[in-house]
Homo-oligomer: A and B are copies of this chain.
Amino acid sequence: MNSPLSGLRLQLRLRIYKDDLLFGTGIAELMEKVDRDGSMSAACREMGMAYSKGWKIVRRAENQLGYPLMDGKRGGSGGGKMVLTSQGRELLDRYREMENEINRLAQEVFTRYFPDKK
């Protein structure tokens, strides 16, 4: 019979706060989709997120950072193509590398505390 702790998985969620929520898994995913498709509305749709919510998250981060994460014409008929700014891309890359490293360490610790998880 399996241990009740067999088959466990650890999921991590990171959030960076300044005065308010600044960056995290959600905005990172949003930016990656915008980077791929050039469209904020498509990115929000894919994440099941309201378009206005998507912009709120981006604006909140930008206001605290003091620089833009994305560039392009917002809305309008057909909308404009959105791209990440170089500062936005740098922050996104830095965040993802950090997240990967933390996740790797966390999985090691998890395996040590729950060795019967396999």
Residues of chain A whose beta carbon lies under 8 Å from any beta carbon of chain B: 4-5, 7-19, 22, 64-67, 94-95, 97-98, 101-102, 105-106, 109-110, 112-114
Contact = CB atoms under 8 A, between A and B. Distances in A.
A8 B4 contact: no
B8 A17 contact: yes
Chain A at the B interface: mostly helix, strand, loop or mixed? Answer: mixed
State the number of copies, please: 2
A5 B15 CA distance: 14
A8 B18 contact: yes
Contact of A4 (B64, B102, B112): B64
27 contacts: A4-B65, A5-B65, A8-B17, A8-B18, A9-B16, A9-B18, A10-B14, A10-B15, A11-B16, A11-B17, A12-B12, A12-B13, A12-B102, A13-B14, A16-B110, A16-B114, A95-B113, A97-B113, A98-B110, A98-B113, A98-B114, A101-B113, A102-B105, A102-B109, A102-B110, A105-B105, A105-B109
